[in-house]
Chains A and B, each alone.
Chain A
Amino acid sequence: MDSDRLQNNTVELPSFKELVDRYHSSIFRLINGLVCNYHDAEDLTQEVFVKVYNKIHTFRGESELGFWISTLARNHSYNFLRRKKVLRFLSLEWLVSDQKMSFEDQSESNRFETHVESEETLAIIYKALQQIPYAYREVFVLSEIHDMSYKDISALLNIPIGTTKSRMSRAKEQLKMVLKDRGGEQ
């Protein structure tokens, strides 16, 4: 591989290493917020950057490079979750009570070293995020974790700004409700 040079005739690009250095943390956090699992986020981030490397020739420079990578990351996470849902259905895990499943998910996320102040905090917020609809979750994560503007979120998700705003407010409302049920949010 010639990782120092990215092939694109339209736009001048940084080296691949620079690109990974610059974006890997934010893309990892975005994916982590969307899939709510540290280990999956690690694998998916790696796959997204491999995709970036292979598809960089299709980048036309019409948007910012960060936005383009974020779009790839969002689509990749979405496909992953859809596949996981189908696999879960096929494996008949859905027959097991939701209570048990969420406990397993939580304990799995606890198993990994997350380098944050509290793994318990993460486990609770992951669980809360999983309890709200995906459409609200992605707007919330793109805005609050990935620092994207409503305009960019609307462009990425191909929805009007009004819809983005209303999804965001519902996401916050529902998350507060979920956390309140746990005795946290007042």
Chain B
Amino acid sequence: MKLTLKKGIHALRHVNPPKNMVSNILMEVDKRSRPVMLVQLQLATVMSVVLFCMSCVGYMMSVPTEDPLSLLDGVSTLSSDMTLDVLINL
């Protein structure tokens, strides 16, 4: 298609914005300036902190309540026996 600069300028000058543009702009501004947004954001933050704390508590509950050092008793005995064996063999 052949096009002159004059016709090109004419086309650009007559491009119409979408019909719902004004209402979209007003709606967007309305949405962004609502304080509810901020409240929602804060609520979401609080909720995520609460969820994080709950998962931490859940994790801690699942860990055995015994003294963790007692779990090492067997290990230390075993290792000392093994050391003795090694010494005897020497």
The reply to whether chain A is a binding partner of chain B is: yes
Q: What residues of chain A have their CB less than 8 Å away from a CB belonging to chain B?
A: 1, 3, 16-17, 20-21, 24-25, 28-29, 32-33, 38, 42, 45-46, 49-50, 53, 114-118, 120-122, 124-125, 128, 141, 144-145, 172, 175-176, 179, 182-186
**B1-47: which residues lie under 8 A (CB-CB) from chain A?**
1-5, 7-9, 11-18, 21-22, 24-26, 28-30, 32-34
What would 18 more interface pairs be, CB under 8 Å, given A1-B29, A24-B22?
Answer: A1-B33, A1-B34, A3-B29, A21-B22, A42-B21, A46-B21, A116-B14, A117-B11, A124-B1, A128-B8, A144-B12, A145-B13, A179-B4, A179-B5, A182-B2, A182-B3, A184-B1, A186-B4
CA distance A172 to B30 in the complex (A): 42
CA distance A179 to B26 in the complex (A): 39
User: Which of chain B's residues have a CB closer than 8 A to the CB of A38?
Assistant: 15
* Total count of chain B residues near the partner, CB < 8 A: 27
Can you give 30 contacting A-B residue pairs, CB < 8 Å? Answer: A1-B30, A3-B30, A17-B26, A21-B22, A24-B17, A24-B25, A28-B15, A28-B21, A29-B12, A32-B12, A33-B12, A45-B17, A45-B21, A45-B25, A46-B24, A46-B25, A49-B28, A50-B25, A53-B29, A116-B11, A116-B15, A117-B14, A121-B3, A122-B11, A122-B12, A122-B15, A145-B13, A172-B5, A182-B2, A185-B4
CA distance A18 to B11 in the complex (A): 26
CA distance A166 to B21 in the complex (A): 36
CA distance A90 to B16 in the complex (A): 33
User: Which of chain B's residues have a CB closer than 8 A to the CB of A144?
Assistant: 9, 12-13
Q: Is the CB of B8 within 8 A of A115?
A: no
CB-nearest residue of chain A to B22: A20
- Assuming the contacts A1-B30, A46-B25, asked whether A29 and B2 have C-beta atoms less than 8 A apart, the reply is no
Q: What residues of chain B have their CB less than 8 Å away from a CB belonging to chain A?
A: 1-5, 7-9, 11-18, 21-22, 24-26, 28-30, 32-34
User: Which of chain A's residues have a CB closer than 8 A to the CB of B28?
Assistant: 46, 49-50
Q: Is the CB of B2 within 8 A of A184?
A: yes
CB-nearest residue of chain A to B3: A184
| Interchain nearest-CB distance for A18 vs B (Å) | 11
Majority secondary structure, A binding face: helix
CB-nearest residue of chain A to B2: A184
CA distance A76 to B30 in the complex (A): 21
